[in-house]
Amino acid sequence: MNANKAAESIIERRLKPIYDAIDSGNNKKAAQEADKVLKKHAGTHCAKALKALALVRSERQDEAWTLIDELEELDIAWDDNTLQALTHCFKELAAPARIAQLYEVACKRQPKNEQLLTHLFMAYVRTRDYKQQQKTAMALFKEFPKNPYYFWHIMSIVMQANRDPKLGRAMLLPLAEKMVLKWVESDSIEAEAEVQLYLMILDRQEKYNESLKVLQGPLGDKYLATKMWDRNYRELKLLTNSGQHDLVINRCFTLLQQQPDDWGLFTSLYDSAFALMAEQTERQSELISQLSDFVVTLVERCERGECDRVRGPFLARLHLIVRLLEKDLVVRAQLGTSRLGEPLKLLTDYYKYFGDKPCCFADIQPYLWLLGEQPQGEFLAAALSVTGLPCRESSGDGSIEKFATNVEDAQRHITCLQLARSFGVHKAMDAGAKCRLARECFNRLKKAVDDKVEDLLAFEQYALIGVQLLWDVYSEQGDVLLLNEMVLVGEWVRAVSPKNAHMRLLLAKFYGMLGACTLVQELVQSLDVKYIQRDTLGYLLFDLLNNFGRFTNAVVYYVDLCAVFDQGEREVSDCLTTAYRNGAFPQIPDLVAFSDQSRASYYAVGADVQSRYLAAIFTADSLESLTDRLLDRDSRGDQILDAVDWSSVRDNRDFGVIPCFDTDGFRQRLADEAERTYQETVDWLRLKQLISSCLAALCREREFRRAVSEKQAPADQKLLKDADRPLLQLRTLTGQLKAHYHHCRSNYNNQSLATSLGGPPPTHFSVFLQGGYMEVVDCLFDCAYLLARHFDQQSTAAGEENGAATKKSSSAERREEGGGGERLRLSDSASPERAHVLPTADELQTLVRRMLASHQLLHVGTQSPPCSSSVSANGVASSTTQPFPHLQLAHCSWLLQALSVVVWTIRLVDDLSPSGGSSKKGKKKTSGVADQSPAVIQLGELAQVVASAPAAVDQLLADLELMMCADFESLCLSDNAVITNDQELSAVLLDRRRAVRATMHASYAESISEMRKFAGKLRSSMNKWQTA
């Protein structure tokens, strides 16, 4: 024993420097220290595991995996420290299933070790393997009969019932209940957690009476009485659910006397009362008058000042009216004479009492429909008479006669403006009037700023309404200049009111719509967007960097975003294990659902797709590194790669930040927009994923061929005919790509303007789809398949016939005169039904030219939606509206992406050709015939067409650069609606213009220089084929 302890402490001393280095975050040093230990004492396995951890933390996953593999091959019993170190490795490598495997092995060796079994249970918690959880908890309980293990077992059953509700109801939940009951009956319950779990099981079976009995019985008293602050609510809910409505009503009456602002109590009261009215129709009138009396008495007490004047009773009265109307229990016309009162008067009173609260509008919005059209005007007039301020623009020169002098008056006026908007007053105004009213709103904020009002919270809302009005005009006309003016207003508000988050959020959206990436990144940083907000507010940045040519930044952003989601999942899993340890059972089902929803975010999936796609096409510098990135060799966790279940992805974006004051179908419009942009992004991601997969298939084909040719064994030749060949996958994938592209083209043929101010920014997907980029990519993939197939059959034939009879091979190739030049016809035994005619260089040239020129067809406005597929003969559009400069930048970015894909495709196919590839160099000399073949010649011609394209993009970018330097202001920042020369306000805004112009220019310039760099890279990559 003593010897053991001594040995342990020696090892501990040895490992200490490694632990210290890891704890202080110095991973490099940790790895070095581990090496030192291992050099002297090779058998110190924990040092190796710790080294692996240090490597994981220094982003050297590959090396870490090698070490882990070495350790696992040893197949011995690990000490705790090694197990812990390996657990950390697997957690951070996003491979939780391996933790379970690790402890399964350990538990097999020591089946009665409590600690190991507990770790195994927790490992299954991480992988959500409820059946195994149940088994392990039972094993634990059998050896160590402690309550927590018993209840882990029960909770694992409840989670299985969650996953399979049908089986849950029929079998699992009754079983769980029986198990708890056994403990209750034997008086073995020990903790609050156990009672909470009991309640959960009963609630899930809708056994509300039983639940209530537990809550109110000795178990509840003993374990829950002081711990459940929401006991009242829970009891009320159970009482309602179990049909004890009279009890609920009486209790609510009592409780509401003390807490008249409590919406939860009113909800319970109404739910029970209306349920009772449905059950016992004879009691309807009695109950209605009881409810009316109660709520009106409460209101009167508030009005008389006998209690705090809280909003509850006033809103509860309106809510009661709505619920009665819904059930036809009152007649609208008779409300005036009823105890409840006429809605017009009730709403006017509400405004009188609470119009100075920022939430007044949100409070009464659900009840405004009660007014009917005529009284809307009366209501507004009454409200306005309180403030004495107008809700429409002043006619004439825009001078404002009267300002709100204090915060309360300003808020009352703002409530009026919000009401007016919801009644459609703004909708009825023409663009000029909207701009004038917007100007007035800005002037009201300016006055408050000039007067040095301390609390600007109310006045800032003037700016929001003003921007909303400008946005209205923008969304009708699509005038980019207006967007620029909103930017100026936003920058001004940001300067006078730096804490205002709404305006910064909008500014980020506007800058994003204008493609000014750097400024969006700054704003997102200033808003301190992090953790879950990277998902819910992800729309500010997600598409931006890659659409506007910041490829390097984009890769960093996506990789980082992946890490955010991984980290989130790890944290939730850690918390889940804590929840079991602490018996926080009620939280567990929610936590699991939350983690599922978070992981399924389309941004989580999308970040993987995008980073793979961009890293492959832009950061690879050889076919080997391209292959590594596409096949994602770095990680071994559950990989999405080619198989993403797009039907299960979720949209977690939050558009609830910017308030909107439109009543008319606003929420539906916002929901539609969210849905549309979501679908567009998902479909775009799928395109990119399919492109990556096609390239990956070519990479795999190349590897496959290498493996075969290196072995040169006749048996391997059989593999070439295998149906799982990467080449055949390529054929399937190109088919899917075509079909998906076709689907996109027919679904998104119109660039619709964003209509909700606080809604998602446009994706530009339809603009992309019109640009001809995919036609070029698709054409090259087809060529790639046909050529690769052809080369393949050639070499098979050559192999079979010992390289002597290439010309006689089954893959006959024949050049024939076609319309636009020589065509090459290849046979393909695998798909005889498909056309095997390679496009000619001229045809490819036409596609490339069309793609290069497509930006001339871009429009921003709705009046002339972007072209249909019919491109005019000379490829030049007639319109003069140039979407300068942001969509031009996007166009260049898409060009570079498409070109990059085709450049890699050409290089891969060339490598597959008999003349290509370094490893075949020796062969090349002996079979000189092959590189003369028509197919190789044709490939060379196509490559030349592609090789000349990057120079054209570079020229485009150079022109853009020149244009911006020459006349940036008139291109994107000229005067329009708000900025007129006779206003003080204009002076304030114009003040900002120089700075805004400079920063936007700088942001664009950065995009351009980045893209020129990549254009240059593409050019040099195609040097071999570059024509003079």
Partner 1 sequence: MTLFRPFNVFDLFKFNNVNLDPLTETYGFNFYIQYLINWPEYFQTVESPNGDIMGYVMGKAEGRDENWHGHVTAVTVAPMYRRLKLAAKMMKVLEEISESKQCYFVDLFVRVSNNVATKMYNNLGYVVYRRILDYYSGAQDEDAFDMRKALSRDVEQKSVIPLKQPVPCDDIDLT
Residues interacting with partner 1, by CB under 8 A? Answer: 226-230, 233, 261-264, 266-267, 310-312, 315-316, 319, 356-359, 362-363, 365-366, 457, 499, 501-502, 505, 527-533, 535-537, 567-568, 571-572, 574-575, 578-579, 582, 584, 586-587, 590-591, 593-594, 597, 652, 654, 656-657, 659
List all residues 6 or more positions away from 334 whose beta carbon is below 8 Å from its beta carbon.
none
Nearest residue to 712 via CA among 811, 799, 810, 790: 799
Q: What is the C-alpha to C-alpha distance for residues 139 and 141, in angstroms, rounded to an integer?
A: 5
Q: Which is nearer to partner 1, 760 or 771 (CB)?
A: 760
CB of 956 to partner 1, least distance (A): 39
Give, rounded to a whole angstrom, the gap between the first and last alpha carbons of the chain.
82
Q: Give the Å distances, CA to CA, from 346 to 293, 363, 364, 559.
A: 16, 13, 10, 55
| Residue 189: φ, ψ to 5° | -65, 135
Q: Which is nearer to partner 1, 485 or 569 (CB)?
A: 569
Q: Which is nearer to partner 1, 364 or 482 (CB)?
A: 364
Q: Which is nearer to partner 1, 601 or 900 (CB)?
A: 601
CB of 313 to partner 1, least distance (A): 9
DSSP assignment of 397-439: T---S----SHHHHHHHHHHHHHHHHTTTTTTS-HHHHHHHHH
Q: Which is nearer to partner 1, 112 or 667 (CB)?
A: 667
Contact between residue 515 and residue 1006 where contact means Cβ atoms under 8 Å apart: no
- Tokens standing for 671? 């929901």
| Residue 369: φ, ψ to 5° | -65, -20
Question: What is the number of alpha carbons within 13 Å of residue 1015 lying toward its C-beta?
Answer: 22
Q: Give the Å distances, CA to CA, from 281 to 130, 269, 276, 325, 510.
A: 48, 17, 8, 16, 56
CB of 384 to partner 1, least distance (A): 22
List all residues 6 or more positions away from 135 whose beta carbon is below 8 Å from its beta carbon.
none
Q: Residue 256, Cβ neighbours under 10 Å: how many? A: 21
CB of 230 to partner 1, least distance (A): 6
List the 821-826 sheet strands across, edge first.
Answer: 813-818, 821-826, 837-838
Residue type, 704: F
| Residue 140: φ, ψ to 5° | -60, -45
Q: Residue 218, Cβ neighbours under 10 Å: how many? A: 10
CB of 511 to partner 1, least distance (A): 17
CB of 346 to partner 1, least distance (A): 14
Q: Which is nearer to partner 1, 529 or 609 (CB)?
A: 529
Q: Which is nearer to partner 1, 398 or 659 (CB)?
A: 659
Nearest residue to 526 via CA among 498, 493, 496, 489: 498
Q: Which is nearer to partner 1, 228 or 779 (CB)?
A: 228
CB of 274 to partner 1, least distance (A): 16
CB of 656 to partner 1, least distance (A): 6
Q: Give the Å distances, CA to CA, from 288 to 277, 293, 302, 338, 663.
A: 9, 8, 21, 11, 29
Q: Which is nearer to partner 1, 261 or 342 (CB)?
A: 261
CB of 1011 to partner 1, least distance (A): 33
With tokens 């949100």, the residue in question is: 362
Q: Which is nearer to partner 1, 593 or 987 (CB)?
A: 593
Q: Which is nearer to partner 1, 549 or 606 (CB)?
A: 606
CB of 361 to partner 1, least distance (A): 9
| Residue 826: φ, ψ to 5° | -120, 145
Q: Give the Å distances, CA to CA, from 964 to 814, 852, 889, 958.
A: 51, 20, 12, 10
Q: What is the C-alpha to C-alpha distance for residues 956 and 960, in angstroms, rounded to an integer?
A: 6
Q: Which is nearer to partner 1, 588 or 860 (CB)?
A: 588
List all residues 6 or more positions away from 582 whose beta carbon is below 8 Å from its beta carbon.
193
| Residue 479: φ, ψ to 5° | -80, 115
CB of 131 to partner 1, least distance (A): 24
CB of 167 to partner 1, least distance (A): 26
CB of 575 to partner 1, least distance (A): 4
Q: Which is nearer to partner 1, 528 or 982 (CB)?
A: 528
395 Ramachandran zone, left/alpha/beta (phi>0; psi -120 to 50): beta
Q: Which is nearer to partner 1, 253 or 594 (CB)?
A: 594
CB of 179 to partner 1, least distance (A): 23
List all residues 6 or more positions away from 727 whose beta carbon is below 8 Å from its beta carbon.
697, 701, 785, 788, 789, 792
Q: Which is nearer to partner 1, 351 or 1025 (CB)?
A: 351
CB of 596 to partner 1, least distance (A): 11
Q: Give the Å distances, CA to CA, from 456 to 356, 453, 486, 594, 733.
A: 14, 6, 20, 37, 58
Contact between residue 266 and residue 319 where contact means Cβ atoms under 8 Å apart: yes
Contact between residue 357 and residue 316 where contact means Cβ atoms under 8 Å apart: no
DSSP assignment of 533-590: HHHHTGGGTTTHHHHTT-HHHHHHHHHHHHHHHHHHHHHHHHHHHHHHHHT-GGGHHH
Q: Which is nearer to partner 1, 57 or 653 (CB)?
A: 653
| Residue 815: φ, ψ to 5° | -95, 130
Contact between residue 393 and residue 436 where contact means Cβ atoms under 8 Å apart: yes
CB of 331 to partner 1, least distance (A): 25
Nearest residue to 56 via CA among 68, 44, 46: 68
Cite the DSSP H helix spans in 110-244.
114-127, 130-143, 147-163, 165-167, 173-185, 192-204, 208-216, 218-223, 231-241
Q: Give the Å distances, CA to CA, from 587 to 123, 155, 697, 757.
A: 18, 11, 44, 36
CB of 421 to partner 1, least distance (A): 16
Q: Which is nearer to partner 1, 319 or 702 (CB)?
A: 319
CB of 593 to partner 1, least distance (A): 8
Q: Which is nearer to partner 1, 576 or 930 (CB)?
A: 576
